Structure 1
Amino acid sequence: MSEHSGVQYTKVDPSYFEKRGLRRYAGVWSLWALGVGAVISGHFSGWNLGLANGWGSMLFATIIIAIMYLGLTFSLAEMSPALPHTGGAYSFARTAMGPWGGFLTGLSENVEYVITPAVIVYFISSYMGGIFGTPVEYLPLWWIGFYIFFVGLNIVGVELSFKVTLVITLLALACLVVFWVSALPYIDFGRWAMNVGEGGVLLENGNGPLLPMGITGVLAAMPFAVWLFLAIEQLPLAAEESVDPKRDMPRGILAGIFTLIFSAFMVLWLNPSIASIGAHTLAKSGEPLLDGFKAIYGDGIAKVLALVAVLGLIASFHTIIFAKGRQIYSLSRAGYFPSVLSITHGSRKTPHLAMILGSVVALAVMFVLWFSLGSDKGAAVIGGTLLNMAVFGAMFSYIMQALSFILLRKNMPNIPRPYRSPLGVVGAALTVVIAVVTLYFQLSDPLYRDGVMWVALWFAAGITYFALVGRKRLILSPEEEFAMDMADKARS
């Protein structure tokens, strides 16, 4: 056992890593689908709540958040082929900021990837309950069924997982394209998209001000604009399952973000502009895309349309389960989490224990809330507080990843970089600034504070474990060896 920077490393024999092998399969389009699929549910619902501040506020908020994600994804496109490890955000921060920085970044992503699928599966169950007439008290059966099915798909093998990801991502995008084409003959932008007035009042004849709440409305809409891009950052977690990460990872990440930016602005333009809906009504909707389809095609085929609309949720649910498994696996393989969680399936070479445990934890949280608070209040907490926990964890991890990029550029300029971000340090700095502002406005909203409190407890439990146990049992995984080698070279 050796000590380094306040932590202790345990020597392991080769069989340790033999039991934790992954299989390479993903190319550029598989990676593109993984990134887009993880995000696409946010184009079906969630973003629209920001319209309460006015369409113009949501437009400028989306532009600002898109800039933040461009800064982040260009930084990831540089770091991921330079440090092509499954750890992703954790491994970047570990190399740049040491074991504690790596652990805190990994812990923040852990909140995001465990909680986000729980929220998505709740929304899926609500759709399915409406389609099949399932009583509210039986919705948890949908949660269990979807978790079992999609965790099972991810366990069967990386090949099947990526094939399913590509198919459902393409189907979800096809659904959006059909909506855009269908909506064009029905839009009246000035009359409907601009029907929010000062103070959020409804303007019956539309043609209201661009910024009815002023700059405050733009800032207040920023947390909702995040849903149009949230989770694109998971792509580097597939580095060790990419056939050629140094070539394909930057291409997959950048193709993904530009696809999402185009889709985001199409949805933002067309969805609120449809006659008889409008921004004011859409701001209160739980299924804005479905409402748009109903306005175009009528309620008579509502159940068929609901099945179409649920595709986006399923795409994100499936892909974030993949990310959750790899995120827990990487922290476990390096000893930050109990190392047993990184054992991969003997023949399938997938991190089955990590995916199963992460899913069990998410389901346990949902069941506790559902049965302790009652179905009505429990649903509000699952759809609100848990959602806010995921966003807070994501924002914190963005700050840490952008800081990692800046520190790596400064302290380790000679690391081979197959791709260099054209935005450089300026892009990463913009990411930090915008993420901090977004966090501030999340904290200023009382609805977000409960989520932040639970994230604080999650962090407290994780930090306590790492301080007392984890830091004494670290293992020289690929991420750890790379970080220590680079640190030694930087000092010499």
Structure 2
Amino acid sequence: MTDDVKGTKSAPPRLRGVTYAHAGEGYFEKRQLQRSAGFWGLWGIGVAAVISGDFSGWNLGIGEAGWGGLLIATVAIVAMYFGMLFSIGEMSAAMPHTGGAYSFARASMGPWGGFITGLAETIEYVFTTGVIVLFSAGYANAATDELFGLDLSDHMWLWWLVLYTAFVALNASGAEISFKFAIAVAVISIGILVLFAVLAIANGAVDFGQLDNIAPEGGNGTFMPFGWEGVLYALPFAMWFFLGIEELPLAAEEAHDPAKDIPRAGIIGMITLVGCAALVFFLNPAVTGASELGGSDEPLLDGFRAFMSDDWAAVLSIFALIGLLASLQGIMFAYGRNMYSLSRAGYYPKFLSVTGTRKTPYVALVAGAAFGFVVLVVVDYLAKNTDTIGEKANAIVLNVAVWGAVLAYILQMVAFVLLRRKFPNAERPYRSPAGVAGAAVAGLIAAITFVGLFYNDDARTAILGIAVLYVIALGGFAIFGRHYLVLSPEEEYAMSGGLHRDPSVEHYGGVELEAELPPEDFTP
């Protein structure tokens, strides 16, 4: 047990197979965050985290399902995200602390539910950051090659190292800087997408006849050239338009008014993203052709190249890179706060939640970046030296990120339904207009997506690999981690039945809480 975590004077408290240690003097003081975000800061961090999906990644779904099949998949995914955001908005307003998905599941399903859900979200955000680094490096290398003759194709790890280092430094420099940066790059990124649409139309480059230029298979039509099976495989890529917008509850302890602004920023951010997705979804393949776009690592840049000279396209690719960098900053923010909250509660090693003088979880940021960098190096090596992975490295990392995301989504929707029943009297400043039905629909679509990942041969190997690591982590928690949990804000909310709601208002420390616990739930 560390110096700043201690047990009670007798034995540490136990609850359903886990053991808690009361936080020692100075424990939470070393793990403070700073309130820096209003509505626009939250909108910016949410949109910024996702906007790269309009620049790369989504188009791989065309290769799986054709344009029409991806359209059907995208409509389903939009319904899923709205249902989920309504539900998450209600839970985040009720629980204005940093835990996010882990916190919701902890309150509804106990410590094991919290850990399983929080770990899935860690996988989602760490691997999503890796995907964005891959795509960002590709855009950056294309631009420097065409403008300056600097081609690092054989040494892409240098780009990855530069990107990880720069954005860990940005996110560690302070929450206020992070939120301001997010607003700026979100607005610029939206402007770039609008510019692409305007130039494509002005240059007469849009031909909607190219949307279905993929040759159908197995008696299917050109709208859905690979049938309903293709739609199933396309669901993860349709998610790339929106994956990450659900991170906003992780900013709860850094928001000025989380109960009001997080639900509102999530819904308005989602509406913004639907508009951006529509621009690229209808216009980008209409400019380049669906079949040509289905395997591209730089779909928007390919769109610019279709009606502009290479030099101008290279210049615009630098601006397109801003969209990817926006998401790199936003998603890195998310994994830092996710790991911070799980570490503060003792599920992860406690040193990961130390924040330092700038009130940012810099240790968690560095740890997540180091792990992501190693993953990219390993995947790159396998891609160059094995036939199994080959040219599918980007899709493999993307599918792992989606696997973590949909698992976390399913568990959060279960948590929403359970919390409505278990904590009926808990304060809920915002209530989902879709209620339990919205959560059920969102959870069902997420479950179908989850199953679809295992049916896709290209994704199965990667998913099984990360599932093994997932099981190893669960084993580590069972053997060691569950014995050293801390009564953090997320834990005390759950253990008090929602009575300890806001860590900025109520006292936290565990001693008073221990006396309030029902005897059947708590044994000394």
TM-score range, shorter chain: over 0.9
* Structure 1 residue aligned with 2:30: 19
Q: CA deviation at 1:104?
A: 0.2
* Structure 1 residue aligned with 2:183: 166
Query: Does structure 2 retain, via aligned residues, the 8 Å contact 1:39–1:231?
Result: yes
Could you give the per-residue CA deviations for residues 251-284 of structure 1, whole angstroms, max 9, x where no partner exists?
111111111112112221111222xx22121112
* Structure 2 residue aligned with 1:279: 290
Q: Determine which of 336, 345, 352 is the counterpart of 1:334.
A: 345
* Structure 2 residue aligned with 1:199: 217
Cα 1:300–1:12, aligned 2, differ >3 Å: closer, same or farther?
closer
What does residue range 5-44 of structure 1 map to in structure 2 within 5 Å? 5-44=16-55
**RMSD over aligned Cα atoms:** 2.2
* Structure 2 residue aligned with 1:205: none
* Structure 2 residue aligned with 1:435: 446
Q: Determine which of 212, 215, 232 is the counterpart of 2:245.
A: 232
- Are 1:3 and 2:9 an aligned pair? no
Could you give the per-residue CA deviations for residues 368-418 of structure 1, whole angstroms, max 9, x where no partner exists?
344566489888464132221111000100000111111111221211111
Taking the aligned partners of 2:519 and 2:118, their CA distance within structure 1 comes to: 24
Taking the aligned partners of 1:491 and 1:399, their CA distance within structure 2 comes to: 29
Q: Determine which of 203, 218, 222 is the counterpart of 2:235.
A: 222
Query: Does structure 2 retain, via aligned residues, the 8 Å contact 1:119–1:382?
Result: no
Residue type at the aligned position of 2:274? I
Query: Does structure 2 retain, via aligned residues, the 8 Å contact 1:403–1:432?
Result: yes
Taking the aligned partners of 2:307 and 2:292, their CA distance within structure 1 comes to: 16
Could you give the per-residue CA deviations for residues 37-82 of structure 1, whole angstroms, max 9, x where no partner exists?
1111111111112223232212111100100111111111111110
Query: Does structure 2 retain, via aligned residues, the 8 Å contact 1:2–1:10?
Result: yes
* Structure 2 residue aligned with 1:67: 79
Taking the aligned partners of 1:468 and 1:217, their CA distance within structure 2 comes to: 42
Residue type at the aligned position of 2:151? T
Taking the aligned partners of 2:123 and 2:390, their CA distance within structure 1 comes to: 19
Q: CA deviation at 1:241?
A: 0.4
Taking the aligned partners of 2:267 and 2:411, their CA distance within structure 1 comes to: 20
Query: Does structure 2 retain, via aligned residues, the 8 Å contact 1:389–1:454?
Result: no
* Structure 1 residue aligned with 2:514: none
* Structure 2 residue aligned with 1:270: 283
Q: CA deviation at 1:286?
A: 1.7
- Are 1:143 and 2:130 an aligned pair? no
* Structure 2 residue aligned with 1:394: 405
Name the % identity.
Answer: 46
- Aligned-partner SS, 1:54: helix
Query: Does structure 1 retain, via aligned residues, the 8 Å contact 2:135–2:298?
Result: no
What does residue range 396-415 of structure 1 map to in structure 2 within 5 Å? 396-415=407-426
Query: Does structure 2 retain, via aligned residues, the 8 Å contact 1:120–1:313?
Result: yes
* Structure 2 residue aligned with 1:153: 170
Cα 1:489–1:422, aligned 2, differ >3 Å: closer, same or farther?
farther
Q: Determine which of 361, 381, 397 is the counterpart of 1:351.
A: 361
State how many pairs are aligned. Answer: 484
Cα 1:465–1:180, aligned 2, differ >3 Å: closer, same or farther?
same
Residue type at the aligned position of 1:162? F
Query: Does structure 1 retain, via aligned residues, the 8 Å contact 2:139–2:298?
Result: no
TM-score by length of structure 1 reads 0.93
Query: Does structure 2 retain, via aligned residues, the 8 Å contact 1:95–1:483?
Result: yes
User: Structure 1: 5+ residue runs without aligned partners?
Assistant: 203-207
Taking the aligned partners of 1:201 and 1:306, their CA distance within structure 2 comes to: 39
User: Structure 2: 5+ residue runs without aligned partners?
Assistant: 1-11, 145-149, 499-516
Residue type at the aligned position of 1:210? F
Q: Determine which of 459, 478, 485 is the counterpart of 2:489.
A: 478
* Structure 1 residue aligned with 2:508: none
Q: Determine which of 84, 92, 106 is the counterpart of 2:96.
A: 84
* Structure 1 residue aligned with 2:199: 182
Residue type at the aligned position of 1:51? I
TM-score by length of structure 2 reads 0.88
Could you give the per-residue CA deviations for residues 426-447 of structure 1, whole angstroms, max 9, x where no partner exists?
1110111111111222111111
Query: Does structure 2 retain, via aligned residues, the 8 Å contact 1:58–1:225?
Result: yes
Could you give the per-residue CA deviations for residues 128-176 of structure 1, whole angstroms, max 9, x where no partner exists?
2222223323221111111111111111111111111111111111101
Query: Does structure 2 retain, via aligned residues, the 8 Å contact 1:93–1:102?
Result: yes
Cα 1:201–1:191, aligned 2, differ >3 Å: closer, same or farther?
farther
Residue type at the aligned position of 2:238? A
Taking the aligned partners of 2:328 and 2:266, their CA distance within structure 1 comes to: 19
- Aligned-partner SS, 1:349: coil
Query: Does structure 1 retain, via aligned residues, the 8 Å contact 2:383–2:393?
Result: no
